[in-house]
């Protein structure tokens, strides 16, 4: 071959003469024609399916396209109800057939689960049965029966029988207090419905149905907007609640002092190191309920509801205290005894905290793969916590000073319930075809009966004695707050969103992206979706009840000089503390096909009965239980030996 000659020119350009043969023209075959054989090296395999080829401006025409027939029945059903799916317009042309063979759905899936038809990006949808439901009912119950009897052989009736105060019959009075407490509960959400999840679901469904029919709930003072701030007994306040010091409840207790590592003491006389006295602490009981629910199951980027949306928040707080004390003190001592029957603190504290989410999420149309968990029927995410403390600490104590320091602690019981429930799930989008029922409720009740009786005698020979009676200082506290993270309201569903709802209900496996969906996407390329064909129940309820009966009867007598008498029959503490944290949609991407119903209810009630009777008189008039003791004390004082008869100092403690 001559360099630079004609042969070399032909050699350079011979391969380029075949380029336009299969690229610039398309094959058009009419019915009856034989299909042309494709070359062994198909140039189509070297073309990037995600990028349109670029050509020079040459004469060409658009290649007509015939939609392939998909064998999957579910896709056919979706095409009829959803224009969002791929449905090319019909082209007026002769009866043509494509030279390409028919392909199945799998032929439209690329490596990133996207498909292309006419250059449009498609979404592949995968379905599976799923959705983690929760029906949780946690019950915590404490019950203590601690009714003590303490007697003394030194205190008898004139006929010689031991003085034992009769048992107080409190059943009828306490039942009336319970009835008063439950009467403050809304009729549409009774406390009885909280006992189990089934009754709670039925109550919520019936309440919401009546709500949608009438537009409001009869007999309930509710508001669509929750009160703002920290509400203390009906008023906004940030002040801390008062706490009575122990030195008022039990003055004989020494104030707390720093620990010392070396103690030096000198005892110069025989006798009790704390002096002579009789002390009875029959109260100072504590009941605590603490509960928290963190529900993050519905913390999604987008929420779409085909039906109605119901959201109710309620806090019901009730304190019932009956503290009718009767104190009778007979003394000839010039120093007046100290009697404190006041100091009760009864409070309700509630707060609704709403965090408004303003972010706008989108990107679902650009996420190539949707992984959809399908739950047919209603979806239940219902959690209830029931906490109950019951205590009967009605003590009967009889004490006489006999040259010793004797302290009887028949109270001081502790009951404590603690529960914390956390639910976490991770869906990008939740789509509900039916109604959405959302409810966060807290019920708190403290019911305390603390009507005490104290009878004390201090003879004229017991000079220098000290008498302290504390029958008040009960504390009843309810504290609750409900915290939500949500956007302000819903946007009406548009046509594209209705079409998407229909397509998912028909299990369409291929979707055409539509920017009008305005739903949250996922940068990972896979969107996690929960689809519920029925209603969605998102319910969190906490119920806390403290019931305490502390009707104490104390009798103390002393004929010893310098003796101390002390009775602490109050100082009980009942507290309920509850918190619900319930995040909702974390953006403004919330869409509703029906109506939205929202309300907030706050009930704070304190029912206090405090009628005390305090009588302080000389020893000329005595209660029947102390007549014989006073007579024996006078006889002993007239003899040389003040202890004219043996005294059984081993007091008897009988548990019943």
pLDDT score at 638: 58
pLDDT score at 447: 98
- Measured CA to CA, the distance from residue 605 to residue 255 in angstroms comes to 35
Tell me the CA distances in angstroms from 541 to 200, 300, 397, 531, one per residue in order: 9, 21, 42, 25
Nearest-Å Rg of the Cα atoms of the chain is 42
pTM for this predicted structure: 0.77
- Ranked by mean pLDDT, the top range of 89-103, 332-346, 630-644 is 332-346
Mean of pLDDT over the chain: 80
Task: Report which of residues 41 and 344 the model is more confident about.
Answer: 344
pLDDT, tens digit, for every residue of 555-577?
999 888 778 899 999 999 999 99
Position 423 pLDDT exceeds 70: yes
pLDDT bin (cut points 50, 70, 90) of residue 113 is: very low
Please report which helix (H) or strand (E) contains residue 314, including its range: strand 309-322
Task: Report which of residues 107 and 591 the model is more confident about.
Answer: 591
- The proportion of the chain whose per-residue pLDDT surpasses 90, expressed as a percent, equals 52
pLDDT bin (cut points 50, 70, 90) of residue 285 is: very high
Task: Report which of residues 213 and 115 the model is more confident about.
Answer: 213
pLDDT score at 30: 53
Position 629 pLDDT exceeds 70: yes
Q: For residues 264 and 258, is the Cβ–Cβ distance under 8 A?
A: no
Provide the token pair at 363: 């990107």
User: Which residues does 543 contact at the CB level (< 8 Å), separation at least 6?
Assistant: 191, 194, 384, 385, 386, 387, 442, 443
Nearest Cα residue to 456 out of 557, 359, 543: 557
């Amino acid at each position: 071959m001559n360099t630079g000659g004609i042969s070399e020119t032909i050699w350079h350009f011979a391969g380029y003469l075949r380029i336009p043969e299969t690229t610039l023209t398309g094959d058009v075959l009419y019915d009856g024609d034989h299909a042309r054989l494709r070359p062994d090296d198909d140039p189509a395999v070297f073309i990037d399916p995600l990028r349109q080829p670029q050509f020079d401006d040459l004469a060409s025409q658009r290649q007509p396209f015939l939609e392939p027939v998909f064998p999957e029945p579910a896709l056919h059903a979706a095409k009829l109800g959803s224009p969002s799916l791929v449905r090319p317009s019909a082209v007026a042309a002769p009866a043509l057939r494509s030279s390409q063979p028919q392909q199945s759905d799998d032929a439209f899936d690329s490596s990133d689960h996207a498909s292309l038809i006419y250059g449009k990006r498609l979404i592949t949808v995968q379905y599976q049965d799923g959705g983690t439901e929760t029906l949780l009912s946690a019950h915590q119950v404490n019950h203590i029966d601690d009714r003590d009897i303490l007697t003394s052989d030194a205190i008898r009736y004139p006929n010689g029988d031991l003085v034992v105060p009769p048992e107080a019959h409190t059943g009828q009075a306490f039942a009336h207090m319970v009835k008063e407490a439950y009467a403050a509960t809304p009729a549409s959400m009774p406390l009885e419905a909280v006992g189990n999840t089934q009754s709670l679901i039925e109550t919520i469904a019936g309440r919401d149905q009546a709500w949608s029919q009438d537009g409001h709930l009869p007999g309930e003072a509710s508001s669509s907007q929750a009160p703002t701030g920290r509400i203390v007994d009906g008023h906004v306040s940030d002040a801390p609640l008062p706490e009575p010091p122990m030195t008022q409840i039990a003055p004989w207790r020494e104030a707390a002092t720093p620990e010392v590592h070396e103690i030096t003491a000198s005892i110069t006389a025989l006798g009790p190191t704390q002096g002579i006295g009789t002390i009875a602490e029959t109260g100072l009981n504590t009941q605590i309920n603490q509960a928290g629910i963190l529900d993050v199951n519905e913390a999604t980027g987008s929420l779409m509801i085909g039906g109605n949306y119901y959201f109710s928040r309620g806090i019901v707080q009730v304190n019932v205290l009956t503290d009718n004390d009767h104190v009778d003190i007979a003394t000839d001592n010039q120093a007046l005894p100290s009697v404190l029957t006041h100091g009760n603190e009864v409070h309700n504290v509630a707060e609704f905290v709403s965090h408004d989410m303003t972010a706008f999420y989108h990107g679902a149309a650009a996420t190539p793969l949707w992984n959809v968990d399908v739950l047919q029927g209603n979806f239940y995410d219902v959690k209830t916590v029931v906490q109950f403390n019951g205590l009967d600490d009605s003590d009967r104590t009889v004490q006489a000073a006999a040259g010793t320091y004797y302290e009887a602690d028949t109270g001081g019981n502790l009951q404590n319930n603690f529960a914390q429930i956390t639910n976490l799930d991770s869906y990008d989008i939740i789509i509900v075809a039916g109604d959405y029922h959302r409810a966060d409720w807290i019920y708190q009740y403290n019911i305390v009966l603390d009507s005490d009786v104290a009878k004390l005698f201090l003879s004229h020979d017991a000079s220098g004695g000290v008498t302290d009676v504390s029958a008040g200082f009960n504390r009843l506290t309810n504290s609750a707050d409900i915290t939500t993270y949500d956007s302000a309201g819903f946007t009406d569903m548009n046509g594209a969103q209705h079409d998407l709802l229909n397509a998912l209900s028909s299990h369409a496996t291929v979707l055409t992206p539509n920017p009008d969906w305005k739903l949250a996407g996922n940068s990972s390329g896979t969107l996690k979706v929960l689809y519920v064909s029925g209603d969605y129940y998102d319910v969190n309820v906490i119920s806390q009840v403290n019931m305490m009966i502390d009707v104490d009867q104390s009798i103390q007598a002393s004929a010893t000089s310098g003796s101390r008498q002390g009775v602490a029959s109050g100082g009980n503490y009942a507290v309920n503390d509850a918190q619900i944290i319930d995040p909702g949609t974390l953006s403004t991407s919330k869409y509703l096909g029906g109506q939205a119903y929202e309300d907030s209810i706050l009930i704070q009630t304190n029912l206090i009965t405090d009628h005390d009777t305090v009588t302080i008189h000389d020893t000329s008039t005595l209660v029947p239980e102390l007549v014989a003791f006073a007579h024996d004390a006078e006889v002993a004082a007239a003899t040389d030996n003040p202890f004219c008869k043996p005294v059984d100092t081993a007091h008897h403690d009988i548990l019943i």
